[in-house]
Amino acid sequence: MSDGHAGIRVLAVDDHPLLREGIAGLIADEPDMSLVGEAANGREAIGQFRTHRPDVTLMDLQMPEMNGVEALTAIRAEFPDARIIVLTTYTGDAQVALALKAGASGYLLKNAMRTELLTTIRAVHAGRKVLSPEITYALATHAAGEALSASETRILRLIADGLSNKQIAAALSLTEEAVKGQVKSILSKLDARDRTHAAVIAIRNGLIEP
């Protein structure tokens, strides 16, 4: 709270002044948040982050000089707790997958900002990851395609149903060792802490039906 701002302190990074003005306008009306800095490219974003240490950063992905993923990676390397929401214009942006891998806390489509920006900032500030529904599916299919095999997806479905490794082994006619190996692979591919977390990630990303 060093600059006398109350509530959630936000940094807006986008190379379009109009978009930054739009963000500033939305935040200005909220008693629980304030805009503490703005930047027009990734390099400026890193400087502004060091100066203001914002609670939440809104980061455009496509910018000159240094793009959002590079800036995000640099900021997270220096400040591992940084909470960054990436902004993108369209659902098929491959950069979004890179940004999430680099540690983004969520992403938001620019055309949904008017309706979703404030709730997304609050959710990320509260420690949640936020993925807007339109791109979650596209992203999950993209990620799942290179990540989980058909057999891993089957096992994940049974984990979500509450089955133990022993029960899964019996259900799929596998050895318990084989199931353990696949579960390990699933956790690593989904970057999950444990079996329950893996099931939550899979359901949230539409990899399996709840």
Average pLDDT over residues 177-192: 89
Predicted model pTM: 0.64
Whether residue 134 is found in the same domain as residue 152: no
Percentage of the chain with pLDDT > 70?
A: 85
Whether residue 133 is found in the same domain as residue 154: no
Strand positions, DSSP E, 61-192: 84-88, 106-109, 130-131
Contact 39, 47 (CB under 8 A): yes
Range of the domain at 169: 147-204
Coil, strand or helix: which one is 194?
coil
Q: At 162, which CATH number?
A: 1.10.10.10
Q: What is the pLDDT of residues 72-90, one digit of tens each?
A: 999 999 999 999 999 988 6
For the cut 80, the answer to whether the pLDDT of residue 97 exceeds it is no
Residue 76: CB atoms within 10 A of its CB come to 16
Q: Which two tokens stand for residue 21?
A: 């003005």
Q: What is the pLDDT of residues 43-63, one digit of tens each?
A: 999 999 999 999 999 999 888
Task: Measure Cα distances from 82 to 24, 59, 103, 112, 154 in Å.
Answer: 20, 12, 9, 23, 35
